[in-house]
Amino acid sequence: EDQVTQSPEALRLQEGESSSLNCSYTVSGLRGLFWYRQDPGKGPEFLFTLYSAGEEKEKERLKATLTKKESFLHITAPKPEDSATYLCAVQEGTSYGKLTFGQGTILTVHP
C-alpha cells in the first residue's frame, strides 16, 4: 500500500527565513511525485512533478528535490503570500493517474 507522510504538520516562518518541507513516501514503482499548493477554501494548485531520484525543479522561491525515499520542498526567503498548505502526492506505476496524498504541511509566513 502506497504511503505518504509529510512533516512538519505546521511551520511558522518569518519573512525571509528559508526552510524545507519534507515528504516521505513508500510506493511500488514511482511514476511521479507531485507537489500542490492549497489556499484556504480552494482546490489544490499544481506546483511540480518529479519523476526520478536526483531530479530538481524550481519555481520562483520554491525548489523541489527527490530521492528514492523522500522529497523536499525548499522555500527560499519566503514572503507572506507563500502562506498556504503544501500537499505532496505520489502516483504509482499502474494506478491510472490516481494520487496518494500526504496530510499536508500548513505554512504560515509572518511579515
Partner 1 sequence: NAGVTQTPKFRILKIGQSMTLQCTQDMNHNYMYWYRQDPGMGLKLIYYSVGAGITDKGEVPNGYNVSRSTTEDFPLRLELAAPSQTSVYFCASSYSTAPGDYIYFGEGSWLTVV
Question: Min. distance of Cβ 77 from partner 1 in angstroms?
Answer: 26
Q: Is 99 in the site for partner 1 (CB under 8 A)?
A: yes
- Closest CB to partner 1 among residues 13, 34: 34
- The residue to which cell 519555481 is assigned: 59
Nearest to 71 by CA among 93, 94, 90: 90
Least distance from partner 1 to the Cβ atom of residue 98, Å: 5
78 binds partner 1 (CB under 8 A): no
Tell me the Ramachandran region of residue 34: left when phi exceeds 0, alpha when psi lies from -120 to 50, beta otherwise.
Answer: beta
Q: Is 102 in the site for partner 1 (CB under 8 A)?
A: yes
Tell me the three state secondary structure of residue 37: strand
Site membership for partner 1, residue 62 (CB under 8 A): no
